Structure 1
Amino acid sequence: MKIKKGIVPAAGFGTRLLPMTKAQPKEMLCVVGKPIIQYVIEDLADADITNILIVTGKGKSAIENHFDRNFELECKLKESGKYHLLEEITRIDRIAKIFYTRQREPKGLGDAVYCGKEFVGDEYFITMVGDTIYTENVVKKMLEVYNTYHCSVITLERVPRDMVYKYGVISGREVENGIFEIEDLVEKPSVEEAPSNLIITGGYLLSPKIFEHLENTKPGKGGEIQLTDAMRTLLEEEKIVGVEINCRRYDIGDLEGWLKANVEIALKKMTGFKEYLKELIGGEGKQ
C-alpha cells in the first residue's frame, strides 16, 4: 500500500529556547531564511507524502499563517514587480495539503501523534518531529526500507554514549548494513542502563496499530505519553526495523543547536559566508 499521510507534531512550548519562543513557535524559528518546519514539510512532500496533519498547540497560529496565502502581500509584491519573491511565497502554500488539529494539553509526543488517529485511519503513515532538520531526505529512506520489510520503520543514529540520556534508545540485531531488527526500546535511559548508543532521531514510519498502543500507554518519563513506550508494546505483536541515517541531523532543541544549524547550512548555501567567518576568526586572533 502506498503511504500518503504524514503527521508533524509541533505543539511543544520550546522552553529551552526561551525567550525566543515566548511568542514565536519553535518550529517557526528560521534557519538560513526558512522556518524549521518548512524544511520538514518539504522533505515529506518531496517523498510524495502530500496529505499532512500538523499537530499544534496554544500560540502556534504563526504555523498556519505561514502555510496559508497572504493576498495583501501577494498584491504588494506584484505591484512592486518583485516576481521572484511572489513565486517564493506562493510556492509555500502549494507544497502539500496541510491540515491542522490542536493538542489540548502538553502531554508528550505520543499524545500528539494520537491526535492524528482519525486523520490516519487504518493506513501506515509517517511522523516527523517539527524541530529537526536532516541534510538528506530520510523520509525517502524509510519508505525504501518499508518496501522491503513491510513493517514500521524508525530512523537511528549513533551518538556518544554520554548523550543517550536525551533520547529514545534501541537494542537490536543488524540484519543488513545499517538496518536493525528492533528488540527493545527505552525512553531516555541513564548512561548505565542504555542498551546501546543507537538513538531514535525523530523519523517514524508507523503501523496504524500504534494508536491502540498509544491509547493504553500510561505517562512515562516527564509524566508524558511517550511514543517510545507505545512502540515497545507494539513490538510484542509486530516487527519494527530501524535504519541508521548517513547524514547530518540538526536537533534544534536549544540555542546551541539552532546556531549550529544556521552556521553549517549557511556555509553550504550562502556564497561568501565561509570567507566572512575566516575573516572574523582571523580578526579576533589579531586582537
Structure 2
Amino acid sequence: MKAEDLTCFIPVGGMAKRLRPLTYDISKPCVRFMNRALIEFPILALASQGVRNFILGEQGYTNYTNLFDQFGDGTGFSAKYGINPRIHIMHQPNVDDLGSADSYRINVEYYNIEGPVIVVQGDNIFDINLEDLIKWHEKKGALMTIALFRTKNVEEYGVAAVDDDMRIKKFVEKPAPEKAPSNLINAGIYLLAPEVRKLVGCDEVKKILDERKRLDFGYDLIPYLVDKGFPIY
C-alpha cells in the first residue's frame, strides 16, 4: 500500500458553538489561521505525501456551502499550491448523517470506495509520516490503526488502553479523569482497511445506529470493534 492508494475522508459536522463568534456564519474548518482555512493544513499535509483523493463529509448547509465554495473539486486548490497531479475533492451527497462513522459509511458507499481510507479531522493541524503509518498498519495486520499521543488532560478526548504490542484493548470516549484507562488519547487520525466498509453496514452496527440514533467513530464504532476483538492498533 502507498499513499497514492488512500482516499482521505474528512468528517465535517456540527456547529462549532465553542468557537463563536468566529463560527456564527462560517464552518469551523474554514476559520482562518495563518491566513489559511484550518482544513487546508491537513489536506496539504497529506497531498504533499501523495494522497490525491479526498472526500469532505459535510453535514448541514453552512458546512457544505462554505467548503464547496472554498474547494470545489480541488482544481483551484491544486493550482494555488502547485500540486501536480492535482487532487480531487468530493463532497457528501445530500444525505443527513448521524455521526462521523455514519458519514464515512454514506460516502464510501456513494463513491464506491473499495480501497483503504485515511480519516483525519478538518480542524486538526498535524505532522505525520504516512509511509511509517502504512508500514505499521501492514506489519500488524490491523483493521484500523489509530494515531495516539500522551497528555495529562484526557477528559476531552477518546482514551485508549494498549497491550505490550500496542494493540488497543479498551477505548473510552471523553471519560472522567478518574475513569480514564490511560493517558493515551486519540489524535483523530485513523487508517482503515477496506473491510471496515463492510463492517459499518453489518446488522450489529446497524442496530447500534438504530438504537442510539448515532454512529460516531469515538463513541460507537471504535469501542465496538475493540470489544469484538478486531485488530485495532
Would the alpha carbon gap of residues 88 and 49 (structure 1) be closer, same or farther in structure 2, given more than 3 Å must change? Answer: closer
What's the counterpart of residue 164 of structure 1? 154
Matches for 1:1-287 after TM superposition, within 5 Å = 1-2=1-2, 3-57=5-59, 58-60=61-63, 61-68=65-72, 89=80, 91=82, 95-102=86-93, 104-105=95-96, 107-118=98-109, 119=111, 121-134=113-126, 136-151=127-142, 152-160=144-152, 163-175=153-165, 180-215=166-201, 216=205, 218=208, 224-228=214-218, 229-235=220-226, 236-241=228-233
Alpha-carbon distance between aligned partners in 1 of 2:15 and 2:97, rounded to the nearest angstrom? 8
Would the alpha carbon gap of residues 148 and 137 (structure 1) be closer, same or farther in structure 2, given more than 3 Å must change? Answer: same
Would the alpha carbon gap of residues 90 and 157 (structure 1) be closer, same or farther in structure 2, given more than 3 Å must change? Answer: closer
8 A contact 1:55–1:101 mirrored in 2: yes
Q: CA deviation at 1:233?
A: 2.4
Structure 2 residue matching 1:64: 3-state secondary structure:
helix
Would the alpha carbon gap of residues 189 and 210 (structure 1) be closer, same or farther in structure 2, given more than 3 Å must change? Answer: farther
Structure 2 residue matching 1:156: 3-state secondary structure:
strand
Q: CA deviation at 1:159?
A: 1.1
Would the alpha carbon gap of residues 223 and 168 (structure 1) be closer, same or farther in structure 2, given more than 3 Å must change? Answer: farther
Alpha-carbon distance between aligned partners in 1 of 2:132 and 2:45, rounded to the nearest angstrom? 11
Would the alpha carbon gap of residues 102 and 168 (structure 1) be closer, same or farther in structure 2, given more than 3 Å must change? Answer: farther
Alpha-carbon distance between aligned partners in 2 of 1:190 and 1:234, rounded to the nearest angstrom? 22
Alpha-carbon distance between aligned partners in 1 of 2:115 and 2:50, rounded to the nearest angstrom? 15
Q: CA deviation at 1:7?
A: 0.4
Amino acid in the other structure paired with 1:111: D
Cα displacement string for residues 178-198 of structure 1 (whole angstroms, at most 9, x for unaligned residues): xx1111111111112211110
Query: Where in structure 1 are there 5+ consecutive unaligned residues?
Result: 75-85, 242-287
Would the alpha carbon gap of residues 87 and 170 (structure 1) be closer, same or farther in structure 2, given more than 3 Å must change? Answer: closer
TM-score normalised to structure 2 length: 0.81
Alpha-carbon distance between aligned partners in 2 of 1:187 and 1:204, rounded to the nearest angstrom? 15
Amino acid in the other structure paired with 2:180: A
Q: CA deviation at 1:113?
A: 2.1
8 A contact 1:67–1:93 mirrored in 2: no
Amino acid in the other structure paired with 1:165: E
Flag the structure with larger Rg. 1
Q: CA deviation at 1:102?
A: 4.5
8 A contact 2:159–2:173 mirrored in 1: yes
Query: Where in structure 2 are there 5+ consecutive unaligned residues?
Result: none
Amino acid in the other structure paired with 1:30: R
8 A contact 2:115–2:193 mirrored in 1: yes
Structure 1 residue matching 2:133: 3-state secondary structure:
helix
Would the alpha carbon gap of residues 62 and 91 (structure 1) be closer, same or farther in structure 2, given more than 3 Å must change? Answer: farther
Structure 2 residue matching 1:59: 3-state secondary structure:
helix
